Structure 1
């Protein structure tokens, strides 16, 4: 009993010391006011970005493309290519990529327009069967039957056209993208010298900017390459399974690979529907297995290892960023969610030494995992000690034997 009381006293004194240490942080009487001011500023900035989403989205997209192709300029200049010719090569490379992607989208949209009339009756019948199934399980809402009776598959074409229009924009926005690409590519030739000029004055800012460019480039390039592989494998698999519109769904899988967490679920729905129309449940199950394996291997195994620490964001923040940027600047915001979130972290955390404490909260878990491993090892050792005490028949509250 005396030993137990002594142990409780030591535990109490240590916990009091921890509490006292926790309150040793410097007090700020205006802390709550600063938090409210920061939230208000964030709200104003968000609504401001939403108001200029039609301009901000294409401009930031052009910035990301410029960052991704910057190594091409460096490689050409190192080989003695004149700066002007290197700039032209960069612009040409980006233009060819955009033209190739636009051609693929146009082909896919044309195939989709031709595909819908062929399966119009089957789609309508499937919608009615789904509504009837909902009624059998107790969901007998009149709204569901009204939607099923008035459903017209041709409206899907208009919807997809609206989504594509939201992603590509009008002719004016395309002009903005190409103009910004031209100007940014020209200015990028001076960027290394500008950074060297600013480094003695703002070393942390320069280091953060360089790290941001490297991280965005690694994430976008790796995602593009793996997305191409994912779309190609899905296309071939759907061709083997004889799912209609295999090229369309392969291209959709490529685009959705840029949308973390929820892109997989968006990409798998159309091939499941059309696979079920032509092959029934066996084809549906096969599509789910194929997409699950491909997505699991590429996005859960390969991509994290290749990207590494380029995206130190938690899964929760990643998922929220997709929803947030999609609401603020439209569909392109979901695709550029990671670069946009990294830009916010650059401005608020990476360039501010006083905010280094929040990095583990955002997703830099290296040190956290080490501490967690230590806690787990201590807990495991404690469980083993308790099991050993029970196996030896020694009560857990018995003090250790005296060695005197």
Structure 2
């Protein structure tokens, strides 16, 4: 078998990945709701199997689960739309504060030697009217959201119906390619655990942030709480995205003291929920390094927009399962993507050995106790 130069293989692989990324990006209007539906279907699968085991007919259990999941998703989407509409209507009432901030920014930029044209362009972005236009454009129309929800509902019904054959199809494919089926099975388990845990912790995080912001008098506290919930699915950078709006409006209504309190509250809640609780509960379900996780957020956000950022971890795990976990020859590269169980065991052993070496060194340098008299 002819072996091609490694550089040629890498370049061809990068070219193929670029073409695939451009193709996915051009179809984001279809793929984003479809992949969201796939993740929701994977998460709801245990409940759909649990109800028939308790005597509920499958013909009733499946439509019930589909309608409940879709109802919660649609209610959340339209709750964000309503809260955002109220926020946009309230925004012009802070025109004076925005003007004062714009003047302060202009003076500071002028003292730093920035040209007048650049200063005017930057200050214009602080105008509430421009913020309204930007947010409304990023949100899109209600018709576009409704169309995406229709796709989600349709795909959810079809996926739930097709899932009845999934076990039989997987059984047949296991005889042909057992590694692929094992990788996909592990993927569904890991994604389900990650999404369920992140959802529950995101609800707790959003609720605590909403209560704290409402107590501090920050406007649109419910909207920022829902934003915090959404951003809990975006690793590394989601915290900062969720922090900026309440921090800014906290400064508007209460000055630096309120802004500092908002910063402290968000930092404490984020540190406890996402840095302490979530890693312990999720465990090894997300075997991705921090660098790969951040890159995946940026990559999928560019390819598929906000949904891509929210689904960055599930999508990256899916690509890893198909391209790496399902191929025995490619599994040797798993430690480059994230720590495996073997990697964690080796690291733990090295840490224990370093502790033992430091203890032995301290013992060797300590003076010997004086001899006992008598």
**CA, structure 1 residues 383+79, in 2 after alignment: closer, same or farther (shift >3 Å)?**
closer
Equivalent of residue 147 in structure 1, options 104, 108, 121: 121
* Alignment partners' CA distance in 2, 1:299 and 1:334: 17
Counterpart selection for 1:333 from 289, 293, 308: 308
**Structure 2 equivalent of residue 89 of structure 1:** 64
Distance 1:376 1:103, change over 3 A: closer
Aligned to 2:100: 125
* Alignment of 1:38 onto 2:4: no
Whether 1:197 and 2:195 are equivalent positions in the alignment is: no
Per-residue deviation at 1:344? 0.6
What RMSD over aligned residues (CA atoms) do the two structures have, in Å?
2.5
| Unaligned runs of at least 5 residues, structure 1 | 1-26, 393-404
1:277 counterpart residue number: 252
What is the Cα deviation at residue 131 of structure 1? 2.8
CA distances 1:321-364 after superposition (whole Å, capped 9, x unpaired)? 11101111112111111111011101111100111111111112
Matched residue of 1:352: which SS? Answer: coil
Deviation at 1:166, TM superposition (A): 8.6
Q: CA deviation at 1:139?
A: 4.4
Match of 1:399 in 2: none
Aligned counterpart, 2:33: 58
Question: Which residue of 190, 197, 204 maps to 1:229?
Answer: 204
Which residue in the other structure is 2:214 paired with? 239
The structural deviation recorded for 1:297 is: 0.3
CA contact (8 A) 1:163 1:331 kept: no
- CA gap of 1:356–1:166, structure 2 versus 1, over 3 A, is farther
| Unaligned residue ranges in structure 2 (runs of 5+) | 368-374
Which aligned pairs between 1:168-179 and structure 2 lie closer than 5 A? 169-179=144-154
- What do residues 218-274 of structure 1 show as CA deviations (whole Å, max 9, x unaligned)? 111111111111111001001111111111111111111111111110111111111
Shift in alpha-carbon separation, 1:229–1:168, aligned structure 2, 3 A: farther
Paired residues, what number? 365
User: Displacement of 1:160 after TM fit?
Assistant: 1.7
Cα separation, 2, equivalents of 1:354 and 1:251: 43
Q: Does 1:314 align with 2:294?
A: no
Deviation at 1:29, TM superposition (A): 5.5
Where 1:189 maps in the other structure, the secondary structure is helix
Distance 1:29 1:160 in 2: 50
Aligned-partner SS, 1:344? helix
Q: Distance in 2 between matches of 1:127 and 1:213?
A: 50
Question: Is this contact kept in 1: 2:213–2:262, CA < 8 A?
Answer: yes
TM-score, length of structure 1 as denominator length: 0.83
- Using the TM superposition, name which of 169-178 and 380-389 deviates more: 380-389
State which drifts further: 230-239 or 106-115: 106-115
| Aligned twin of 1:211 | 186
TM-score w.r.t. the length of structure 2 is 0.90
Is the deviation greater in 290-299 or in 171-180?
A: 171-180
Please name the residue that 1:16 is paired with: none
Is 1:348 equivalent to 2:320 in the alignment? no
Residues 144/70 of structure 1: CA separation in 2 closer, same or farther (3 Å cut) = same
Give the alignment of 1:386-401 within 5 angstroms: none
CA distance in 1, matches of 2:68, 2:304: 27
Instruction: Spell out, residue by residue over 1:125-179, the C-alpha distance to the aligned partner (whole angstroms, 9 max, x if none).
Output: 112212323444x243324421255342122222222222299945443322221
* 1:354 partner SS: coil
